[in-house]
Structure 1
Amino acid sequence: MSNPSEAPVAPVEAYEPPYYVAVFTSIRTEDQSGYSETAARMEELVKEVPGFLGMDHAHTPGGLSITVGYFRDADALTEWRSNAEHRAAQKRGQAEWYESYTLHVAKVERSHGFSRA
């Protein structure tokens, strides 16, 4: 949601399961007026949710965007889903910014990572 060239290039760390992920995959419309400001605001807001663990973003040259949010428990995910500003942004996204999207929510049962020292 922030400028990818400014963000550190590293995946969110592997946490001790269980935890939850919300995978948001989208194709955007041509008119993105106001999108980057709203996305930056959503990133600020989600960081305030107790139990928010982090977020990964990826974009393909063909226009597919994937955002994965990591949450310690279902309550944290519910708090984010029910946030009033987030709900308003979702409605605006459907009306203006997204050609299509999918949302997948899953409970993580296994997690590990690797980092070259």
Structure 2
Amino acid sequence: MSDHSEAPVAPVAAYEPPYYVAVFTTVRTQDQSGYSETNARMEDLVKDVPGFLGMDHAQTPGGLGITVGYFRDADALTEWRSNAEHRAAQKRGQAEWYQSYTLHVAKVERSHGFTRAAG
């Protein structure tokens, strides 16, 4: 997804299980024409899906990108997967932006988090 340099540096909160994650791991091509605009649109669009909980992103210096989307239930994930604009972006990604990718979907059965107190 995008570089997210303006995004806060904090992971998505731990939610009460069960919920679902979609882990999208990518290596992008050299030509990224139109990618940033489409990515921003997808990030705005997914927020409108009832049951969308949040998204984490990471990018290695070598070019491996990982995006994890969190969804309250399978219906929310199905709604996102079947969204017409999202489907069109997926096709364009395969045709232009991704050298390779994998998608893993899992049901989260355990979740916890930690935040260091300020001060």
Scaled by the length of structure 2, the TM-score of the pair is 0.96
**Matched residues, number:** 117
Q: For 1:50-69, list aligned pairs within 5 A.
A: 50-69=50-69
Q: Are 2:32 and 1:20 aligned?
A: no
Partner letter of residue 32 of structure 2? Q
Displacement of 1:74: 0.1
2:104 aligns to what SS in structure 1? strand
Instruction: Show structure 2 runs of 5+ residues with no match.
Output: none
- Distance of 2:51 and 2:5 partners within structure 1: 27
After superposition, give the CA deviation of every residue in 1:29-75 in whole Å (9 maximum; x if it has no partner): 00000000000000000000000000000000000000000000000
The answer (yes or no) to whether the contact 2:54–2:69 under 8 Å persists in 1 is yes
Bigger mean CA offset, 95-104 vs 1-10: 1-10
Report the aligned-residue RMSD: 0.8
Match of 1:101 in 2: 101
Match of 1:92 in 2: 92
Displacement of 1:4: 1.9
- Distance of 1:5 and 1:19 partners within structure 2: 27
Superposition misfits of 4+ residues, deviation over 4 angstroms: none
- Distance of 1:58 and 1:51 partners within structure 2: 22
- Distance of 1:116 and 1:62 partners within structure 2: 30
Scaled by the length of structure 1, the TM-score of the pair is 0.98
